[in-house]
Amino acid sequence: MEAPVHSMNALFAQLGLAADDAAVAAFIAAHAPLDTAIRLQDAPFWSSSQRALLQNELSADADWAGVIDALDVSLRRA
C-alpha cells in the first residue's frame, strides 16, 4: 500500500477541524472506539458537509481515501 498523499493534519483542516497534532489526537480519543457497525462517514459526530466530503472522497477512491482509511482505523481502536 502506498503512503497517503495527504496527512492526517491536512484531512482535519479539510474537514474544518483543528488540525494540529494535539487536536487530532484529542478528536480520536474523544470519539474512539467507533462501533464497527457504523461506517466512518455515517458517524454521528460529523456535520453534513464533513459527511459529504468523506463520502465523496471514499466513493471516488480519491487522493484523500488513504488518509480517511487511516482515520477510520484510528477511530476503531479501543
Domain harbouring 38, CATH code: 1.10.10.1130
* pLDDT tens readout for residues 31-67: 999 999 999 999 999 999 999 999 999 999 889 999 9
Domain contains 2: no
User: What is the number of domains present in the chain?
Assistant: 1
Q: At what angle do helices 48-59 and 65-76 cross, to 10 degrees?
A: 120
Q: Quick one: which of 69, 52, 26, 61 has its CA closest to 17?
A: 26
Domain contains 12: yes
Distance CA 60, CA 58 (A): 5
Distance CA 29, CA 48 (A): 22
- Cell numbers given for 26: 484529542
Q: What is the pLDDT confidence band of residue 3, given thresholds at 50, 70 and 90?
A: low
Q: What is the pLDDT confidence band of residue 75, given thresholds at 50, 70 and 90?
A: very high
Question: 3 or 53: whose pLDDT is higher?
Answer: 53
What's this model's pTM, rounded to 2 decimal places?
0.90
Domain contains 3: no
* Structural domain boundaries, residue 38: 8-76
